[in-house]
Amino acid sequence: SQQGEEDPQALSIQEGENATMNCSYKTSINNLQWYRQNSGRGLVHLILIRSNEREKHSGRLRVTLDTSKKSSSLLITASRAADTASYFCATSSGYSTLTFGKGTMLLVSP
């Protein structure tokens, strides 16, 4: 069963706009990660946030984590057409494995 659930399932925006995706999970975690998948390719790691962190930045990416609400958000600022992809959150709970959500499909139109 999925630990993380992304919302929305699909998101369509224009270039230059910001994109926000959310992830909710059910049990306590050690860390939460976000991955990107371009069509037909393997997943690529974007960012990892630990359970004792509340916010993390990497370039145009901003991730927040609220452990009291068991949720995380990924913000992509100033989106580009090249950001078009599926985005997955993944949680770790101390068993050497990650549990992935079903993903958010982001379409950025020029």
Partner 1 sequence: DAGITQSPRHKVTETGTPVTLRCHQTENHRYMYWYRQDPGHGLRLIHYSYGVKDTDKGEVSDGYSVSRSKTEDFLLTLESATSSQTSVYFCAISDGQGEETQYFGPGTRLLVL
d(CA 110, CA 96): 40
Total binding residues for partner 1 by CB under 8 A?
A: 25
Q: Does 57 bind partner 1 (CB under 8 A)?
A: no
- Give the amino acid at 36: R
Which is closer to partner 1, CB of 43 or CB of 76?
43
d(CA 49, CA 21): 15
d(CA 38, CA 82): 9
Interface residue with partner 1, options 7, 20, 22, 48 (CB under 8 A): 48
Q: Does 59 bind partner 1 (CB under 8 A)?
A: no
Q: Does 88 bind partner 1 (CB under 8 A)?
A: yes
